[in-house]
Chain A
């Protein structure tokens, strides 16, 4: 056997300084830093300006005394309104999204016309501006569905055919549907085909296989979809503008057909409708801070649930 060519130099270090590598790794580092810096600036700005007005009273009081006064205004109705619409949205979007994903991944023939049309529709849905969803909600849910319900029940004054918590939640559910579908499909795809075969070969029906073998495996992925949907929906204002958010309400919403006050919309109200913008600014920032914290809290709940499911799956009963 011949020896190979002798190693050049004693170390494996490149002899020449690699300019291109240095430049590009520097660039990626800079991009990362810029994103972190922007986030830090935004958060710092909000906390700095909002902290003085942020108090226990602020998050537990309503707006009945004075909406624009630092010492009197509170945001409890908005916290409850936003939380309610996000939870109701989740209740609708998860089942519909999961069932759609199951259809696409387990039942539909890949590449068939119907599958391509559905996939195209989902992708388009994801690209629609959120204000369009707001208009859609107004036209479809309020005018068509709500109006239809009123006619059906013979209501003299509109009960359902007006902006309401349920319509705002449904509009948001339609908007976040693609997120849940894509995340669930991703999770279903990751499941080894061998598991489905094993179940079917034992004489399970397709439905039994999906419910008892496939879905439990996909649960963490489905919850990830839920987390993404909640994050997206919590801060959205445009879709609820015409479908349920109220400028001011003296009382908390009591039914799904009531309107509600919303944190995001309230930020808009505070920044555009205040008679004295200087005096309102601290509450404006504090409201934004509350919105951020609420979004964080809703996410945290979903993340904790997912962590629990994952732990339980690892232990396998």
Chain B
């Protein structure tokens, strides 16, 4: 059987790198992974991963299912702590501070590293309360403060105009795309530095996806964004750096433009051109 290219090779024009490679490298590294390995019981899901993620850029994790990209992104806010029998070796530092150190307050870490999940998961509360929940957890209590931050966050997530007249209605009445933007609003409300997104648009239609992508490009002015995606075009469109994973290993990590047009490794090229995965 001859391999057919289901996905046309991406051209330079498909990408809209907001920054040139030279500009990108001027952003300082924020998250530094050093020899990170992770085991679920006996099976090793991540193998000795080392690279750094630059601040206020979008970094995409790509790779076939089971390559460890979701596992890795969940290491960055220690969501894997919730799973029994996970063992982690190596270090992840943010601002040079090891987040797996003994002195780390996981609550404070998760406040600074927000997360948006694959399946939109608004709380079964009103739109207003969805955002107020996180704010109250972190000590914002006054009604006027809540009101203004909630408005800012909803504007930041490009949702304000659609929901401003129904803030006190159930969030479950929103469409899938709106729910996901609410989840983003909820995440940015508590002013994290880093936002992790685990396939945030994989359950959305193309129009809702485009809105989320525009939003991501907008958010990177303020936040460092790490996104897991299955959609190659999406990675090409929105990310500045791309990390390609395969079977728990980091195969290649480079500026997105290089990964998609001139990858160093054969495996990467095969994957981004749709030959496997």
A-side residues, CB < 8 A to B, are 109, 192, 194-195, 197-205, 208, 212-213, 216-217, 313-317
Contact between chains at A202 and B125 (CB < 8 Å): no
- In the bound complex, what is the Cα–Cα distance between A200 and B117 (angstroms)? 12
Contact between chains at B119 and A202 (CB < 8 Å): no
Cβ-based interface call for B133 (8 A):
yes
Min distance, Cβ B173 to any Cβ of chain A, angstroms: 8
B-side residues, CB < 8 A to A, are 77, 79, 82, 84, 107-111, 114-115, 117, 119, 121-126, 129, 133-134, 137-138, 168-172, 183, 186-187, 190
Contact between chains at A208 and B171 (CB < 8 Å): no
Contact between chains at A192 and B121 (CB < 8 Å): yes
- In the bound complex, what is the Cα–Cα distance between A108 and B55 (angstroms)? 39
Knowing A197-B79, A316-B171 are in contact, say whether A203-B125 is a contact too (CB < 8 A).
no
Contact between chains at A212 and B172 (CB < 8 Å): no
- Nearest 8 Cβ contacts at the A-B interface: A316-B170, A194-B121, A203-B111, A201-B115, A202-B134, A203-B110, A198-B121, A203-B107
Contact between chains at B123 and A195 (CB < 8 Å): yes
Contact between chains at B124 and A316 (CB < 8 Å): yes
Contact between chains at A316 and B190 (CB < 8 Å): no
Contact between chains at B126 and A198 (CB < 8 Å): no
- In the bound complex, what is the Cα–Cα distance between A197 and B126 (angstroms)? 18
Contact between chains at B126 and A194 (CB < 8 Å): no
> Which one of B114, B119, B169, B183 lies within 8 Å of A316 (CB-CB)?
B169
> Which one of A200, A201, A205, A213 lies within 8 Å of B123 (CB-CB)?
A213
Knowing A217-B124, A316-B169, A316-B172 are in contact, say whether A203-B108 is a contact too (CB < 8 A).
yes
Chain A residue numbers with a CB within 8 Å of B168 are: 317
Knowing A194-B117, A316-B172 are in contact, say whether A199-B123 is a contact too (CB < 8 A).
yes
Min distance, Cβ B170 to any Cβ of chain A, angstroms: 3
- In the bound complex, what is the Cα–Cα distance between A315 and B125 (angstroms)? 9
